[in-house]
Structure 1
Amino acid sequence: MRAIGLMSGTSFDGVDVALVDTDGERVQRLGPSGYHRYDAAERAVLSKAMTEAAALTDRTARPGTLAVAEAIVTGAHRMAVEDFLAQHGISRSEIDVIGFHGQTVLHRPEARLTVQIGDGEALARAIGRPVVYDFRAADVAAGGQGAPLAPTIHPVLTRDLDLPRPLAVLNLGGVGNVTFVGEDGELIAFDTGPANALMDDRIARETGAAFDRDGAIGAAGRVDERALERLMTHPYFMLPPPKSLDRNAFDASVTEALPLPDALATLAAFTAATVASAAAQLPQPPAQWIVAGGGARNPTLLRMLRERLGAKVQTADEVGLSGDALEAQAFAVLAVRSLRGLPLTYPGTTGAPRPMTGGVLARP
């Protein structure tokens, strides 16, 4: 089947788009990928919506700013798909299904509550193609973490690459997550901690920029070891996997008094330290780490990871994958798996009681 995957991650900078030919178990072809950026006004609405979402107890409710934000998310994804199809000369009829993750605004699996805004039914009508959405709800309702989801697809995407096992795939978006692929195919996954979210929030408040491009500001700073030590006392790091996080689970106020370069250096070191902490919870030390997401474009963070992990660390692009499109590619494959009733989550990836399918199908 020919599927489009759409992903707007916890950094809420924009929408990634990827085309994949797949049966859900193997990838026949990875097609082109694309990106649609949220503008500053849209990002401001999404940020406010995430703050307001903290009060939600009903995952279907859209009070206040959340209704506006959902319309923005749906519209941005429609534009992302339409622009992508036009750019690559692909007709809508060629697309069998679209995997639409939406935008996570609240994730509290301990309360069996996860909220992704974005109207899958409206997107299906607008594009005129079937859309699979609401991927996390079934897993959370069954007692799983509902996250991370992409790990199910990481073995599929890396199957034909000459990579050692055990292998770790590390996605560094707003929140970090790791997938451990064992020598015998064992699959373990969980969120490691904050990745770019705390750094992005600090630089946005101080400069208005969306992120520290190339980690340049952080590279000029000095790590405050006392602040780092305090950040690492969060009880999340002591929990056994599988486990997952809300984007706003961590408080970085301990770095507020630091000048921007030192704050960014300290927060990058925090991300690297959380990954090292996660590595200690894996069954074996990975022979290699593959890094994807926005963090893969931060040389300061990559250097810190190499220093702490003591293993080979490469970006997804360096091994023949797309660091930017990996999550969107995953949701293309997940959409096909949902249509076929195949598992999207496993006990080792989300703590689900059994391998579980999920997703909701919207027809145009």
Structure 2
Amino acid sequence: MTSLDTIKLIALSLSFAALSGCGDSKISAVKDTRLGSDEFTVGETLSKVKECKSSDWTSEIVNNSTIVTHTCTVKLDDELLNLAKQGELTALKARADLADLSVTQAVSQARGTHADALRHGQERATQAARRVAEVDRRIQNVATQQRSPFISINGTPLRRGEAPPDEATWEARRAENLAVVNGEKEKLLAEIEAEKQKTQAAIDAALKQIDDASTWNEKYTQEIQRTYQTMVKEVDAYYEKSHILKVKTVFRYREGGNAEPVSAALFIDELEGRSATPVYLMDPKRMREYLTYLTKSGIGMEANRLFEERFPIEHISGSDGGFRYKSAKSAT
């Protein structure tokens, strides 16, 4: 639909025709205004809107300007009512179809976490095996290293005139070296075991999340169907009752200036609803288009929003995540 700003620009660029000189009523001035080069005045155009079973004009002073409001009480025929109801039901069904998205995502995320934990565990196991093999080679080298007449007790080449270490000293040093390397291996194995337990804990936690989410997935399906069916009955009851629809078109008028359309909104049972460009000011036959556009998702019940409020399960945010019933009553 054409934006309200577009209408304003058209109105300002073409300018309103001179106001009627009959009397000094601000309402009359607005009603007698012609929008651009329109053949009919605003009042005449609005009087031709067949969807209005009654009309009313009011005015008030706001910030030194006169605000004039035209109120059209709509004839809510069966066709418009049924279209609105179907729009309401369609929006409700769409919300119900999306209701299990959070639990589905939770299952998918848990499975992804589980796969990551398994992959991480395999990678860490491979790294651990490589590190243990390296330490084992060092132990093997120390254990099998032979005493050499050319190597000092520290393992460096002998200097000129320096005597090689005796057998007992050599063996003592080798035992010390073995103890150091074996100590490194014990420390490494402890680190590997701690990492293994940590990885297994992550795997177990992911498996628990998968199991929990899968359990809630079944509950979600049941509660979605129950809540949806309840809301469908409420929609039927809501649309069986009578409702009052009014279209309010607001103009601003300053003495000596032009009248200017400010807003147009649909009021349902006296509560302001959605607004849109008042295309019916350009052509009174377009009021039907305006009403159809604003009621295409219903006439004020907002069943999809109520579905969200009444759905008894909530997703717990945070690192632990999970789901729970909103109240003990809901759980029973």
TM range (shorter): under 0.3
Greater strand proportion = 1
TM-score (norm 2): 0.22
Larger radius of gyration: 2
Q: Return the structure number with greater relative CO, CA threshold 8 A, min gap 6.
A: 2
TM-score (norm 1): 0.20
